[in-house]
Each structure stands twice: as structure tokens, then as C-alpha cells.
């Protein structure tokens, strides 16, 4: 009896040290991670009731007095595990820059306007089949100091939990066809191209709302549970 | 929406970046109920109340002001607030999860209870421990560590600590301050005192 969530899946993740992403150089561990068997501590994980997430927390365009500036979009998709099972009732939290590429954060001094009608944070729970949905504004690209003329591709940060503490995931959803992909060390920190492209949403015309909002689909795939039962549990 | 397609693989991790505060650790700065704070305490919780605090440092020993830490733990009886743990939960509203960001000097703190004993897959008791996930700018995937307690005799026989080279075990053991229920554990992402991180 060894691993319950196969660790092979972790190969899709970036390496901790990705020198092109300069902030990783002093923050990635130098020593190898120590492998260990999953215990009940790793195999369980936080579960959320509906008491904190309220209806409307998934619409980032209606949190303030007026409408935010920019291009209204719908972002939706399926949270499932790598075996194709939907992950129900999972907390999905998002945060992002506004349409001009500026975050509501004291350390973001990018000279682009703040939008009084956009904070850029939302959350929801996936439904009984693992489906989630947000209404928001398409974030802008923004410059950062990593290298000469460095601009982040437009992205939305997502935080998802799944069924255990080892399925915890924070990722970024990108938009199809972004010309900045080739130059972004965070996006390219994922060595496998197929895995990298799983972070790119797809334009969804079928669910685009006429006269109202474009739609993007982004499925989030978490680690799958090995069928092997755990002993002595 | 129904979907039963088997995907090619998992979605890769990306950094939380420096600007996660409004999304994940709002602390009253956003117009909703905070989903989490840095406390797991609930009015009905039983067990020894403890505070865990420390600082996070990078490879140059510089404080990391944009880290986010999450903890996950059992209650004082060693039971998890998760339907996968089939044993009854004595502390009905105890959730065992908390989250905090580091401040400008890299400080973090958690208010919680000391967890009970949780068995390992062979049924062997593990010393009381808290799971820790470390997120931050510059970290492309979060790191997993554990927090143990300096006044627990069970540490010596803990099956997970046994996997760690003896000279590195102290990086996972929070030290109790004399006469207080406060434990200190600094985290070092890199360097001579690098915290032990696990491949799970």
C-alpha cells in the first residue's frame, strides 16, 4: 500500500525552480522534496457549507454601485478529476486585474487606471456535477519587472480544493491566442506543451449571450484518486 | 452541464502572484463574509488552544511579505471535518482549516487547537501534527510541510518525521515558548535552514 493519489500526475506541474521566472530563484527549495505515503491527514480536506458563499459572489460585475469598464465575459467550466469524475461542491475562488491590467492592491503601481466599480475577486461552489460559472470582466495584460518589456498575458487566478489536501490547486486561466504566451516565463514554466495548453480557456460561442457577453470555457482537472483502498482505515 | 470526458491530465499549478490578497485573504476589505481567517477556533471546540506563529524567509534570509499559508488538521480527538473520515466528530462546527497571508515583515500566525493522534496507513500513531501548504509569489506550485510540537514525546517515533534526516527535523517542529501556549516556527524556503517540504 503506497500512494493513494498517484504522484505521476504531479509531472504536469512546473518545476519549483524556473530561472526565467526570477522570483523563483530565491524561493524554490534547493533540497529535494521528501516523498511520503499519504496518511488520513493528506487524504482528507476542507469541505465547505453554503453559509459563507452567497448568491452573487460569482458575479464580479455587480459588486459595486456602477458597472465596471471593459469587456464583460462569462467564464464557466467543469471541475473534475483526471479520471473524469466531476468534483461537486468545491469552493472556486478567483482574483484578477481589471480591464486595464491593474489590480486593487497597494503594491500594484502600474500606471493604469483603477476602476471604482471593479475589485476583481469572486467565488462560487461547483454544483452537484462539478460545474461552476462566473461573470466578470476580461482582464488586461500588464507589465511586470521580470525582464525587459515583460508583460503578463491576460489571466484569471483560480483556487480550487477538491476532495483532499493533496488535490489543492492554484492555477491561472489564460485566453486563447494571446500573443504574449511565447514570452511569459510563468506560463512557460510548465514544461509539457499539452499540459501548458490545459491552462488556456476556449472561446465558447454556444454559451455566449447575444448583446451581452462573450463566453470562455475553462475546465479544471484535479488529481484523481487511485482505486486502491487504504488499509487500516 | 454534463461532461464525462476523461481529460488528458491535470491542470498545472501556477503562482498565486503578489496580488492574491483581495481574492483569498480579504480580512474585511471586501464586501462579503470572509470564508476563512487565521483561526480554526469555534465556540464549541474542545482541546488545548494554541497559537502558532513565525516568519517566512527566502534564500537570502529576507522576509517574504507575499506568502499565503494554509493549515489543515484534525481535532483534539484526531478526527477530520471531512465526510471521508467516517468516525463521529465531537466538535460539530470545527472545520480544521485556516488561511493567512504574511505581513510586510514575513510574520504569520494561526490560532487553533492542538490536534490529536491520527493513524498512519499501517495504523501506527502519528505524533500530533498540522498540515501546512505554502503559497507565494515566485512559487510556481505550493509546497507541503508539517508542523509538529516541541513538547510531544511522540515526535521521536513519528513515521513521517522518521523519513526526514535527523538534522533537518527541527525545521518542522514548532517550539513552545516557556509558560505560554504559543509555538514558534520560522519557515525558510531555501538555504542552510531550509524547511523540509514533502512530495505528496
Average pLDDT, whole number, for chain B?
Answer: 92
From A38, A78, A80, A155, the catalytic residue:
A155
Q: Whose CA is closest to A38, among B133, B119, B72, B197?
A: B119
CA distance B51 to chain A (A): 20
Cell numbers found for residue B32: 462579503
Q: Are B88 and B79 in contact (CB under 8 A)?
A: yes
Q: Does the beta carbon of B98 lie under 8 angstroms from any beta carbon of chain A? A: no
Q: How far is CA A194 from the centre of its chain?
A: 17
CA distance B61 to chain A (A): 9
| Residues 6 or more apart whose Cβ sits within 8 Å of residue B24 | A93, A95, A159, B16, B68, B99, B101
Residue-wise pLDDT for A82-136, tens only, equals 999 999 999 999 999 999 999 988 888 899 999 999 999 999 999 999 999 999 9
- CA–CA separation, B145 vs A29, rounded Å? 12
Better pLDDT: A119 or A47: A119
Nearest to A44 among B80, B120, B126 (CB): B80
CA distance A23 to chain B (A): 4
Query: A55 burial class (0-12, 13-18, 19+ CB within 10 angstroms)?
Result: exposed
Q: Are B141 and B118 in contact (CB under 8 A)?
A: no
Q: Are A89 and A119 in contact (CB under 8 A)?
A: no
Residue-wise pLDDT for B133-153, tens only, equals 999 999 999 999 999 999 999
Predicted-complex ipTM score: 0.95
Residues linked to residue B44 through DSSP beta bridges, in sequence order: none
Q: What pLDDT shows up at residue A29?
A: 97
Q: Are A41 and A165 in contact (CB under 8 A)?
A: yes
Nearest to A157 among B20, B141, B190 (CB): B20
Q: Which residue's entry shows cell 500530533?
A: B128
Q: Which residue's entry shows cell 459563507?
A: A52
Give A55-105 as a DSSP string: TTTTBTTSSSSSPPSS-EEEEEEEEEETTS-B-TT-EEEEEE--TTS--SS
Contact list, A76 vs chain B (CB under 8 Å): 1
Q: Are B28 and B100 in contact (CB under 8 A)?
A: no
Q: What pLDDT shows up at residue B21?
A: 84
Query: B62 burial class (0-12, 13-18, 19+ CB within 10 angstroms)?
Result: exposed
Residues linked to residue B148 through DSSP beta bridges, in sequence order: B129, B173
A163 flagged as catalytic: no
Contact B139 A105 (CB under 8 A): no
Residue-wise pLDDT for A130-144, tens only, equals 999 999 999 999 999
Q: What pLDDT shows up at residue B2?
A: 44
Better pLDDT: B18 or A50: B18
Contact A14 B13 (CB under 8 A): yes
C-alpha dist (Å) from residue B29 to A61, A91, B33:
17, 20, 10
Q: Whose CA is closest to B169, among B149, B190, B189?
A: B149
Contact list, B196 vs chain A (CB under 8 Å): 31, 34
Query: A142 burial class (0-12, 13-18, 19+ CB within 10 angstroms)?
Result: buried
- CA–CA separation, B105 vs B66, rounded Å? 10
Contact list, B139 vs chain A (CB under 8 Å): 16, 24, 27-28
Q: What pLDDT shows up at residue A3?
A: 66
What pLDDT band is residue A48 in, cutting at 50, 70 and 90? confident
- CA–CA separation, A156 vs B101, rounded Å? 20
Amino acid at each position: 500500500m503506497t500512494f493513494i493519489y498517484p504522484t505521476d500526475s504531479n509531472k504536469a506541474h512546473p518545476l519549483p525552480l524556473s530561472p526565467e521566472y526570477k522570483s523563483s530563484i530565491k524561493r524554490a527549495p534547493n533540497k529535494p522534496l521528501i516523498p511520503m505515503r499519504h496518511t488520513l491527514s493528506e487524504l482528507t480536506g476542507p469541505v465547505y457549507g453554503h453559509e459563507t458563499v452567497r448568491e452573487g459572489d460569482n458575479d464580479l460585475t455587480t459588486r459595486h454601485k456602477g458597472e465596471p469598464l471593459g469587456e464583460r465575459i462569462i467564464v464557466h467550466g467543469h471541475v473534475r478529476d483526471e479520471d473524469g469524475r466531476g468534483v461537486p461542491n468545491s469552493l472556486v475562488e478567483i482574483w484578477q486585474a481589471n480591464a486595464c491590467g491593474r489590480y486593487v492592491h497597494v503594491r500594484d503601481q502600474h500606471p493604469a487606471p483603477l476602476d471604482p466599480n471593479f475589485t476583481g475577486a469572486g467565488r462560487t461552489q461547483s454544483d452537484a456535477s462539478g460545474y461552476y460559472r462566473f461573470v466578470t470582466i476580461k482582464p488586461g495584460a500588464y507589465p511586470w519587472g521580470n525582464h525587459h518589456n515583460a508583460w503578463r498575458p491576460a489571466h484569471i487566478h483560480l483556487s480550487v480544493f477538491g476532495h483532499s489536501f493533496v488535490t489543492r490547486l492554484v492555477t491561472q486561466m489564460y485566453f486563447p491566442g494571446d500573443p504574449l504566451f511565447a514570452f511569459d516565463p510563468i506560463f512557460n514554466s510548465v514544461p509539457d506543451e499539452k499540459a501548458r495548453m490545459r491552462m488556456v480557456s476556449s472561446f465558447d460561442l454556444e454559451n455566449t449571450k447575444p448583446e451581452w457577453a462573450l463566453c470562455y470555457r475553462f475546465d479544471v482537472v484535479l488529481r484523481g484518486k487511485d482505486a486502491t483502498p487504504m488499509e487500516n482505515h | 452541464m454534463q461532461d464525462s470526458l476523461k481529460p488528458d491530465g491535470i491542470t498545472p499549478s501556477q503562482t498565486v502572484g503578489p496580488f492574491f490578497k483581495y481574492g483569498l485573504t480579504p480580512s474585511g476589505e471586501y464586501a462579503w463574509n470572509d470564508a476563512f481567517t487565521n483561526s480554526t477556533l469555534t465556540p464549541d471546540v474542545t482541546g488545548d488552544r494554541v497559537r502558532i506563529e513565525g516568519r517566512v524567509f527566502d534564500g537570502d534570509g529576507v522576509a517574504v511579505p507575499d506568502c499565503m499559508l494554509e493549515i489543515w488538521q484534525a481535532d483534539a480527538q484526531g478526527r477530520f471535518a471531512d465526510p471521508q473520515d467516517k468516525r463521529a466528530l465531537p466538535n460539530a462546527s470545527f472545520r480544521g482549516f485556516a488561511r493567512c497571508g504574511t505581513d510586510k515583515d514575513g510574520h504569520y500566525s494561526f490560532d487553533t487547537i492542538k490536534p490529536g493522534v491520527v493513524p498512519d496507513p499501517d495504523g501506527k500513531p502519528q505524533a500530533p501534527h498540522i498540515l501546512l501548504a505554502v503559497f507565494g509569489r515566485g512559487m510556481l506550485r505550493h509546497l507541503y510541510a508539517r508542523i509538529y510540537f516541541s513538547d510531544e514525546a511522540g515526535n521521536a517515533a513519528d513515521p513521517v518525521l522518521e523519513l526526514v534526516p535527523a538534522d533537518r527535523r527541527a525545521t518542522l517542529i514548532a517550539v513552545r515558548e516557556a509558560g505560554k501556549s504559543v509555538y514558534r516556527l520560522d519557515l525558510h524556503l531555501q538555504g542552510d535552514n531550509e524547511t523540509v517540504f514533502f512530495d505528496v
